[in-house]
């Protein structure tokens, strides 16, 4: 099964590359992580399930929080596709109303006033 191991590490390598592009200087919260991976439902779901609600100081600290079994599960979903992932995707989308995504959520009060006044 060396092919599976290779594929599994490919997924992890892609996630690690994305994490390395984030600004870790003031830490990264779980909410920031979910937002960054919002377009990758399978990975976002893994983070939702595995990552504790805390701020991580480095990508290494974050990666240590995720067990190998979670990476293997993500790889299986990406490789074989699971129909229920569409249900999970829509369920996960319900949690995205925290105003962290541009165009969603609420505007700060001063922006609302400016908009009404123009």
The pTM assigned to this predicted structure is: 0.60
**Total domains in the fold of the chain:** 1
pLDDT tens readout for residues 72-88: 988 888 777 765 545 44
CA distance readout (Å), 89 to 14, 44, 95? 20, 9, 10
Reading phi first (left if > 0) and then psi (alpha if -120 to 50, else beta), residue 101 is in beta
d(CA 88, CA 42): 9
Res. 29: pLDDT tops 80: yes
* Distant-in-sequence, close-in-space partners of 53: CB < 8 Å, separation ≥ 6: 30
User: What is the DSSP track for 45-102?
Assistant: HHHHHHS-SSEESSHHHHHHTS-HHHHHHHHHHHHH--TTHHHHHHHHHTT--SS-ST
Q: Which domain holds residue 32?
A: 2-117
pLDDT tens readout for residues 93-103: 444 444 444 44
């Amino acid at each position: 099964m060396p092919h599976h191991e290779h594929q599994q590490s490919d997924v992890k390598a892609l996630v690690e590359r994305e994490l390395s592009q984030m600004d870790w200087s003031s830490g990264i919260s779980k909410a920031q992580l979910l937002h960054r991976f919002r377009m990758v439902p399978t990975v976002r779901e893994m983070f939702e399930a595995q990552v504790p609600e805390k701020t991580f100081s480095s990508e290494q600290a974050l990666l240590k929080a995720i067990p190998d079994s979670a990476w293997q599960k993500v790889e299986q979903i990406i490789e074989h596709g699971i129909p229920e992932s569409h249900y999970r995707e829509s369920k996960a989308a319900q949690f995205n109303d925290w105003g962290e995504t541009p165009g969603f959520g609420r505007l700060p009060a001063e922006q609302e006033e400016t908009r009404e006044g123009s």
